[in-house]
């Protein structure tokens, strides 16, 4: 008979946990300070290694002291702990206190990212704030992985000899990633190998069910509950107005006689959502917040034997409009939440880029000239400030799509990262850039 697993977590009082909350979410710390909960109200501090499952198909997972990560239900964990961290059939409401995690759904072999949960982000709020009897929230489709699930190395890493070196050094058995979406499997194995020196992890602070039982019974907890409601409300601003946007976009197609490929229309709508920060887009990995980037780059330089190019990597992040970080959407790594089939299966990425630009230009012109009634809406605010650029690794005979090599001169983060790899070239021929849209917010 096997021993029951023991969860690797730390139970903290509010006074012990406060030092982890205050630096990343001072508003939440203030809300909890208002109630000053007794030591009976514990918080659970949990760490997950890169790539570990935090949620799979709506089921919360816990790390064990022997290094496994298991579903909270049906694995033999202490029943009192299961009761506290698995409530309302949903995920334990948690705060990300270190690094980040990716929230996504999957369809067949496609990963569809919904959000990057960065430091200070609270997740697991929708279900706990819903009506407990008739919620529209579907739990079983959601997944969360520790760190970036959507992570890309820009230079090609499909060399069979290089993989033989990785296999010899680390014993990896993953296939050579022919598609960008397959690279994550390799990164996960390498990041967690004992020979790859890194201590990267995602850290969560989980709220047990007692916190929400108190907030429904004790008026002194009202400030805390209101803070959670306000957080959830602000996080759904775009989605609460999506139906209106869909209607106006349909009006645009009718009045401008647009009959776009549905797949490309979905892409344009996704780019508009991206520009508002509602959904994430790819940015250059210039820190360790999404993955153990330095350790992975070192492996591909020193063991795999990456030739010529700098080992630049990309991960997802939401556009926040108080800085100048550029972000990107790649036709080679589609992340649209809607995915109508292409009406022309033989269409090239260059042709698709031209059509995306044509639709986007029509939309922006209609917003800015007042054809669409958006004078006081955020859609106009972002239309005035987000600049869309279109890139491809091949030359465009029409002159509307820029050569991907120009990304280096346009993106200061790329320039700064290239300085770390003296003597290596910018990966301008990267598959990621073979049909790419850049988004630049200009205040």
- 227 shares its domain with 247: no
Average pLDDT of the chain is 89
Tell me which DSSP letter residue 346 carries: T
- 99 shares its domain with 209: yes
Number of domains in the chain: 2
CATH code assigned at 107: 2.60.120.10
Per residue in 274-307, pLDDT (tens digit) is 988 889 999 999 999 999 999 999 999 999 999 9
- 256 shares its domain with 167: no
- 365 shares its domain with 404: yes
Q: Is residue 59 within 8 Å of 214, Cβ to Cβ? A: no
pTM here is: 0.92
- 204 shares its domain with 328: no
CB atoms within 10 A of CB 56: 16
Query: Is residue 314 scored above 80 in pLDDT?
Result: yes
Q: Which of 214, 232, 250 is the last residue of a domain?
A: 232
> pLDDT higher for 220 or 359?
359
Within-domain flag for 88: yes
Mean pLDDT calculated for residue range 252-272: 84
Per residue in 192-218, pLDDT (tens digit) is 999 997 899 999 999 999 998 887 777
Using CA atoms, how far residue 215 sits from 86, 89, 129, 380, 437, in Å, is 17, 19, 11, 39, 45
Distance, in Å, from the CA atom of 91 to the CA atom of 68, rounded to the nearest integer, reads 19
> Which DSSP helix (H) or strand (E) runs through 95?
strand 94-98
Per residue in 147-166, pLDDT (tens digit) is 999 999 999 999 999 999 99
Q: Which of 176, 209, 232 is the last residue of a domain?
A: 232
Q: Is 274 left (phi over 0), alpha (psi -120 to 50) or beta?
A: alpha
Cα torsion through 110, 112, 118, 120, rounded to 10: -130
Within-domain flag for 287: no
- 159 shares its domain with 265: no
Distance, in Å, from the CA atom of 312 to the CA atom of 414, rounded to the nearest integer, reads 8
> pLDDT higher for 241 or 105?
105
Within-domain flag for 401: yes
Structure tokens at 53: 């499952």
Within-domain flag for 311: no
> pLDDT higher for 137 or 254?
254
Which range (18-27, 86-95, 346-355) has the least confidence?
86-95
- 268 shares its domain with 242: yes
Within-domain flag for 328: yes
Q: Are strands 143-146 and 9-12 parallel, antiparallel or unpaired?
A: unpaired
Distance, in Å, from the CA atom of 319 to the CA atom of 270, rounded to the nearest integer, reads 13
- 171 shares its domain with 244: no
- 108 shares its domain with 181: yes
| Number of alpha carbons in the 13 Å side-chain half-sphere of residue 361 | 9
**Percent of the chain residues past pLDDT 70, beyond the cut:** 93
**Percent of the chain residues past pLDDT 90, beyond the cut:** 65
Q: Which residues pair with 202 in a beta bridge?
A: 48
Q: Can you give the pLDDT at residue 175?
A: 85
> pLDDT higher for 375 or 52?
52
Tell me which DSSP letter residue 142 carries: -
Tell me which DSSP letter residue 433 carries: G
| Number of alpha carbons in the 13 Å side-chain half-sphere of residue 397 | 1
Within-domain flag for 195: yes
Mean pLDDT calculated for residue range 365-394: 83
Q: Can you give the pLDDT at residue 123?
A: 93
Query: Is residue 1 scored above 50 in pLDDT?
Result: no
The domain of 140 spans 9-232
Q: Kindly report the backbone phi and psi dihedral angles of residue 215, in degrees, each rounded to the nearest multiple of 5, phi listed first.
A: -70, -15
- 222 shares its domain with 272: no
For tokens 């976009």, what's the residue?
Answer: 249
Q: Which of 232, 263, 292 is the last residue of a domain?
A: 232
Within-domain flag for 381: yes
- 217 shares its domain with 248: no
> Which DSSP helix (H) or strand (E) runs through 246?
helix 242-255
Within-domain flag for 306: no
Q: Is residue 404 within 8 Å of 396, Cβ to Cβ? A: no
- 136 shares its domain with 253: no
Please give the sequence-ordered ranges of beta strands (E in DSSP) within 259-320, or none if there are none: 281-284, 313-317
């Amino acid at each position: 008979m096997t021993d029951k697993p023991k969860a690797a977590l730390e139970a903290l009082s509010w006074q012990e946990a406060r030092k982890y909350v205050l630096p990343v979410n001072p508003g939440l710390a203030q809300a909890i300070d208002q109630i000053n909960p007794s030591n009976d109200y514990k918080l659970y501090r949990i760490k997950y290694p890169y790539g570990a499952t935090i949620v799979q198909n709506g089921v919360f997972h816990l790390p064990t002291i022997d290094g496994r990560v298991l579903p909270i239900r049906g694995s033999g964990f202490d029943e009192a702990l299961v009761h506290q961290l698995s409530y309302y059939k949903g995920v334990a409401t948690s705060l990300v206190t270190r690094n980040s995690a990716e929230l996504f759904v999957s369809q067949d072999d496609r990963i569809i990212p919904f959000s990057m949960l960065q430091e200070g982000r609270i997740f697991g709020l929708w279900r706990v704030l819903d009506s407990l009897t008739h919620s529209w929230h579907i739990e079983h489709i959601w997944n969360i992985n520790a760190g970036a699930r959507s992570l890309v190395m820009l230079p090609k890493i499909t060399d069979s000899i290089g993989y033989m070196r990785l296999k010899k050094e680390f014993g990896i058995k993953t296939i050579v990633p022919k598609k960008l979406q397959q690279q994550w499997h390799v990164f996960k194995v390498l990041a967690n190998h004992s020979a790859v020196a890194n201590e990267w992890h995602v850290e969560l602070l989980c709220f047990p069910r007692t916190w929400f039982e108190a907030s429904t019974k004790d008026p002194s907890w009202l400030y805390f509950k209101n803070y959670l409601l306000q957080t959830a409300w602000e996080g759904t601003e775009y989605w609460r107005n999506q139906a209106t946007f869909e209607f106006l976009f349909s009006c645009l197609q009718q009045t401008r006689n647009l009959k776009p490929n549905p797949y490309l229309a979905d892409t344009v709508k996704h780019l508009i959502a991206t520009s508002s920060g509602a959904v994430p887009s790819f940015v250059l990995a210039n820190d360790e917040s999404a993955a153990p980037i330095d350790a992975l780059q070192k492996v591909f330089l020193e063991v795999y034997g990456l030739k010529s190019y700098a080992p630049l990597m990309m991960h997802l992040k939401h556009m926040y409009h108080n800085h100048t970080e550029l972000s990107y959407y790649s036709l080679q790594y589609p992340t649209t939440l809607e995915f109508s089939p292409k009406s022309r299966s033989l269409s090239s990425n260059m042709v698709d880029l031209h059509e995306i630009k044509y639709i986007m230009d029509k939309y922006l012109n209609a917003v800015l000239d007042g054809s669409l009634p958006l004078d006081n809406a955020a859609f106009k605010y972002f239309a005035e400030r987000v600049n869309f650029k279109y890139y491809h690794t091949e030359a465009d005979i029409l002159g509307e799509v820029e050569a991907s090599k120009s990304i280096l001169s346009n993106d200061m983060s790329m320039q700064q990262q290239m300085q770390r790899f003296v003597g290596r070239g910018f990966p301008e021929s990267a598959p990621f850039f073979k049909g790419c849209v850049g988004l630049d917010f200009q205040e």
